[in-house]
Chain A
Amino acid sequence: MKPVDFELHRPETLAEALELLAEHGADGKVLAGGQSLIPLLNFRLARPDHVIDLGRIGALRAIRRNTDALVIGAMVTYHQAERSAAVAETAPLVSAALPHVAHQGIRARGTIGGSVAHGDPAAELPAVFSALDATMVAVSRRGTREIAARDFFLANLVTALEEDELLAEIRVAPVPARTGAAFNEVGRRHGDFALAGAGAQLTLTDDATVSSARIALTGVSAKPFRATEAENTLVGQRVDERLWRRAADVVRRDVDPAADLHATADYRRDVAGTIVERALAAAAARALGNRTGSMEATG
Chain B
Amino acid sequence: MTLQQERPRTGPLSEPERHYLSKPDRVREDRRFVTGKGRYVADLIRPDTLHVALVASPHPHARIGAIDTSAALQVPGVVAVLTGDELAAETEPLRQYLDVPEVQWWPLAVGSTRYAGEWVAAVVADSRAVAEDGAELVVVDYEPLPFVIDPEVAAGKDSPLVHPTHGTNVMADRHFAWGDVAGNRALADRTTTVRTRWNRNSTVPLETFGVIAAWDPHRELLDVWASIQMPQFPEQVAGSLRIPTNQVRVHFDVDVGGSYGVKRGIKHAVLAGFLARRLGRTVALIEDRSENMHGGDFHGPDRIFEVELAYTDKGDITHIRIDVLDDEGAYPGRSPLQLAKPIGAIVGPYRITSAEYHAKAVVTNKTGQVAVRGFGQSPTNYAIEAAVDAVARDLGMDRIELRRRNFIKRDEFPFRIPSGTEYDSGDYETVLEKGIAAADLAALIAERDELRGKGYLAGIGVASCLEPGGGNAIFENIMNPKNDKTTFPEACRIRVDGEGAVTAVISISSAGQAHETMVATLVGEELGISPDRIAVVRADSLSGFPSQSPVGSRMTIVLGQAIHGAAGELKNKLRIIGAHQLGLPVDEVDYRDGAVVSGSNPDVRLSWGELVAIAHRKQHLMPPGMQPGLEMVHVAHTPRSGTLTSPEGTVQLYPTYSFELHLVLAAVDPGTAKVELKRYVVAHDCGTVINPDVVRGMVYGGTAHGIGVALYEQFAFSPEGQPLTSSFMDYLLPSSHEVPRIVDVEHCTPSPYTSHGQKGAGEAGYMGAPAAVASAVNDALNGVGAAPLHSLPIKPSDIWSALRAAEQESS
* Contacts from A to B (Cβ < 8 Å): 1-5, 43-44, 186, 188-193, 195, 260-264, 266-268, 270-271, 274-275, 278
Contact = CB atoms under 8 A, between A and B. Distances in A.
21 contacts: A1-B288, A5-B129, A44-B136, A188-B795, A188-B796, A189-B734, A190-B735, A195-B797, A260-B724, A261-B714, A261-B724, A261-B725, A261-B730, A263-B795, A264-B797, A264-B801, A266-B797, A267-B797, A270-B800, A271-B672, A274-B672
B132 interface: yes
A267 B673 CA distance: 9
B251 interface: no
Interface string B792-811: 00011100110000000000
Interface in B92-132: 127-129, 132
B738 interface: yes
Name the prevailing secondary structure of the B interface residues: loop
Contact of A192 (B673, B727, B732): B732
B74 interface: no
Interface string B671-687: 11110000000000000
Contact of B800 (A43, A260, A261, A271): A271
Given A2-B132, A270-B800, A271-B672, 12 more contacts: A1-B289, A2-B127, A2-B128, A4-B133, A5-B133, A188-B732, A189-B734, A261-B724, A264-B797, A267-B796, A267-B797, A271-B796
B712 interface: yes
Interface string B780-798: 0000000000000001110
Name the prevailing secondary structure of the A interface residues: loop
B290 A1 contact: yes
A271 B801 CA distance: 12
Among B129, B671, B672, B716, find the residue whose CB has the most chain A CB atoms closer than 10 A: B672
Interface string B719-738: 00000110101101011011
A193 B728 CA distance: 12
Contacts of A261: 714, 716, 724-725, 730
Interface in B556-594: none
B738 A190 contact: yes
A5 B716 CA distance: 32
A274 B671 contact: yes
Contacts of B129: 2-3, 5
Contacts of B672: 186, 271, 274-275
Contacts, number: 71
Contacts of A274: 671-672
Contacts of A278: 671
Nearest to B669: A186
A267 B725 CA distance: 20
B796 A186 contact: yes
Nearest to B127: A2
A38 B242 CA distance: 43
Contacts of B730: 261-262
A191 B735 contact: yes
A190 B737 contact: yes
Contacts of A264: 797, 801
A4 B130 CA distance: 9
B737 A267 contact: no
**What 5 A-B pairs are tightest by C-beta distance, nearest first?**
A190-B737, A2-B129, A267-B797, A274-B671, A1-B288
Contacts of A260: 724
A267 B799 CA distance: 10
Contacts of B133: 4-5
A148 B125 CA distance: 49
A179 to B, nearest CB: 25
Contacts of B737: 189-191
Contacts of A275: 671-672
A22 B230 CA distance: 56
Nearest to B671: A274
A209 to B, nearest CB: 27
A43 B288 CA distance: 11
A262 B800 CA distance: 13
Nearest to B799: A267
Interface in B702-760: 712, 714, 716, 724-725, 727, 729-730, 732, 734-735, 737-738
A1 to B, nearest CB: 4
Among A43, A261, A264, A274, find the residue whose CB has the most chain B CB atoms closer than 10 A: A261
A5 B133 CA distance: 9
Contacts of B729: 193
B374 to A, nearest CB: 24
Interface string B286-314: 00111000000000000000000000000
A112 B734 CA distance: 27
A245 to B, nearest CB: 12
A151 B734 CA distance: 39
Contacts of A44: 132, 136
A271 B738 contact: no
A279 B105 CA distance: 56
A195 B796 contact: yes
Nearest to B738: A189
Nearest to A270: B800
Contacts of B674: 186
A274 B716 CA distance: 28
A43 B132 CA distance: 11
A195 B673 CA distance: 12
A122 to B, nearest CB: 11
Contact of A189 (B136, B673, B712): B712
Contacts of A3: 129
A138 B735 CA distance: 38
Among B128, B730, B796, find the residue whose CB has the most chain A CB atoms closer than 10 A: B796
A275 B670 CA distance: 12
A271 B290 CA distance: 32
Contacts of A268: 797
Nearest to B793: A188
A104 to B, nearest CB: 11
Contacts of B727: 43
A263 B796 contact: yes
Nearest to A1: B288
A161 to B, nearest CB: 24
Nearest to A47: B136
A189 B735 contact: yes
Nearest to B737: A190
A51 B804 CA distance: 50
A188 B556 CA distance: 37
Nearest to B708: A189
A44 B132 CA distance: 10
A290 to B, nearest CB: 25
Nearest to B289: A1
Contacts of B801: 264, 266-267
Contacts of B797: 195, 262-264, 266-268
A84 B729 CA distance: 29
A39 to B, nearest CB: 8
A164 B22 CA distance: 67
Contacts of B800: 267, 270-271
A274 to B, nearest CB: 4
A195 to B, nearest CB: 7
Contacts of A43: 290, 727
B672 to A, nearest CB: 4
Interface string B613-632: 00000000000000000000
A192 B729 CA distance: 8
Nearest to B53: A2
A212 B801 CA distance: 35
A108 B782 CA distance: 43
A271 B800 CA distance: 9
